[in-house]
A and B are shown apart, each in its own frame.
Chain A
Amino acid sequence: MHEMSICEGILLTLEAQAKIQNYSTVKKVWLDIGAFSGVEPRALTFGWEVVTRNSLAEKSELIINHIPGQAWCLGCSSSVTIQNRYDNCPNCDSGMLQMTGGEELKIKELEVD
């Protein structure tokens, strides 16, 4: 439910970067969104359209790179992909997993004018 404030956070960053990188329009924004970041990509895309109205990123496109949940299994010493935080290891069914990826919430790059 906080996708709207996430959108505002992204817009803030774009506005701050506009000064530093010397651009006035943002056309595309590439994001890394992890499976466990707590962010629903569809809600984010919806919020983006609303939040960017009358801004330097109006009508810009959000391109979301979904990062799957990754964990290190202490049971079989391998890196595995998981769907849920509470999943067991898909290889050996061990419950001893340490999360290694999936919490990303990053702006990677922009296409700007």
Chain B
Amino acid sequence: MCTVCGCGTGEVSIENNHNHQHDHKHDHDHQHDHEHSHDTHAPHAENGDLHYGTGPAHSHAPGLSQSRMVEIETNILSKNDEYAHNNRHLFSHKGIFALNLVSSPGSGKTTLLTETITRLQGKLSVAVIEGDQQTANDADRIRATGVPAIQVNTGKGCHLDAHMVGHAVDHLGLDDYSLLFIENVGNLVCPSAFDLGEDHKVAILSVTEGEDKPIKYPDMFAASDIMLLNKTDLLPYLDFDVEACIAYAKKVNSNIQVIQVSAKTGEGMDEWINWLITQRKARLTQAKSALSAQLKALETAMDI
């Protein structure tokens, strides 16, 4: 993260013109040699992906004075949480339902996503943010379905953070009441700690990975509201114990819902789509109630 706005120090890239106009006021009263040249901050690939990998060096020149204690009591991820809060606010303002898809690499996230998009097309507006360390392959696969997608390359980064997502959302220009999928970097560890402003984290686990993943990587399954057990078409060829896997997931998160799917054969896809539509509707119903209350208050205020 950069010292100015929290941008990754040059490992991340987002597709499309990243006109990163940093207009920050520096009011440092200590001597602080800022060598920030934000033009180099997020260099762009030809197709406009964002790259956070070539950021500026930090240069600081501290002064001297008396030692003392300062209590600050701050969450270490407060910067990320602030960006996540802003994202969530924007999503709620525009009625966007956002899902953060997390899994290990190779769990079939992108195939599951393209299948999901195909089934939703014509019903509602969908957009995708694709996170990977390198390449725009996944965004290309999504765009082939006709849905707008933007690739965020994290460079050496192991997860998407809320700031990257905020920028990606800017570039995508989301429709009101659309559905946003954020496909996180394939990693069962780090993305669990970073709130992106999503409505739900969706953990995807494929049956080729072993049924004990939920207890081997408990943080991710504890942070997720639903687990999609993918590639169930392969079950006849494996020793994967579905019951044990679900029991492990419930052990780390008693509220987690589990749907068994196969993006390839379509098994369980209806149930997954139903879950998605139901959850989105619940979110919008909540927004509607808030608006109704606001309208009522407004009418009362007018009625004097």
List residues of A whose CB falls within 8 A of some B CB: 1-2, 5-6, 8-13, 15, 17-19, 21-25, 27, 31, 36-39, 54-56, 58, 84-86, 95-96, 99, 105-113
- Would you call A107 and B3 a contact (CB within 8 A)? no
With a CB–CB cut-off of 8 A, which chain A residues contact B28? 18-19
Given contacts A5-B157, A95-B251, contact A107 B62 (CB under 8 A): no
B161 vs chain A, min Cβ distance (A): 7
Q: Which of A6, A12, A13, A56 is B72 in contact with, Cβ under 8 Å?
A: A13
In the bound complex, what is the Cα–Cα distance between A31 and B75 (angstroms)?
A: 10
In the bound complex, what is the Cα–Cα distance between A95 and B71 (angstroms)?
A: 38
- Would you call B218 and A107 a contact (CB within 8 A)? no
Q: Which of B62, B71, B73, B76 is A6 in contact with, Cβ under 8 Å?
A: B76
Query: Assuming A24-B63, A39-B193, what are 11 further A-B pairs, CB within 8 angstroms?
Result: A31-B76, A54-B60, A58-B62, A84-B215, A85-B215, A95-B251, A106-B76, A107-B74, A107-B76, A109-B71, A113-B66
- Would you call B69 and A110 a contact (CB within 8 A)? yes
Q: Judge if B123 is at the interface, Cβ distance under 8 Å.
A: no
**Dominant SS among interface residues on chain B:** loop
Chain B interface bracket (under 10, 10 to 19, 20 to 34, 35 or more): 35 or more
Q: Judge if B300 is at the interface, Cβ distance under 8 Å.
A: no
Residue from the set A37, A38, A105, A107 with the largest chain B CB neighbour count within 10 Å: A38
In the bound complex, what is the Cα–Cα distance between A23 and B31 (angstroms)?
A: 11
Q: Judge if B248 is at the interface, Cβ distance under 8 Å.
A: yes
Q: Which of B64, B72, B189 is A108 in contact with, Cβ under 8 Å?
A: B72
The residue in chain B whose Cβ has the minimal distance to the Cβ of A11 is B3
B146 vs chain A, min Cβ distance (A): 34
The residue in chain A whose Cβ has the minimal distance to the Cβ of B73 is A108
With a CB–CB cut-off of 8 A, which chain A residues contact B258? none
Q: Which of B6, B71, B187, B219 is A85 in contact with, Cβ under 8 Å?
A: B219
Q: Judge if B252 is at the interface, Cβ distance under 8 Å.
A: yes
List residues of B whose CB falls within 8 A of some A CB: 1, 3, 6, 8-9, 27-31, 58-60, 62-80, 157-159, 161, 187, 189-190, 192-194, 215, 218-219, 222, 248, 251-252, 254
In the bound complex, what is the Cα–Cα distance between A19 and B76 (angstroms)?
A: 18
Q: Which of A27, A39, A96, A105 is B75 in contact with, Cβ under 8 Å?
A: A105
A-B pairs with beta carbons under 8 Å apart, 26 shown: A1-B187, A1-B189, A2-B158, A2-B159, A2-B189, A2-B193, A6-B76, A8-B1, A13-B72, A13-B76, A15-B3, A21-B72, A22-B30, A24-B64, A39-B193, A54-B58, A55-B60, A55-B62, A56-B60, A58-B62, A86-B215, A107-B74, A107-B76, A108-B72, A110-B69, A111-B68
B102 vs chain A, min Cβ distance (A): 13
Residue from the set B29, B31, B59, B72 with the largest chain A CB neighbour count within 10 Å: B72
- Would you call B218 and A56 a contact (CB within 8 A)? no
With a CB–CB cut-off of 8 A, which chain B residues contact A13? 72, 74, 76, 78-79
- Would you call B30 and A56 a contact (CB within 8 A)? yes
In the bound complex, what is the Cα–Cα distance between A23 and B67 (angstroms)?
A: 9
With a CB–CB cut-off of 8 A, which chain A residues contact B66? 113
In the bound complex, what is the Cα–Cα distance between A23 and B64 (angstroms)?
A: 8
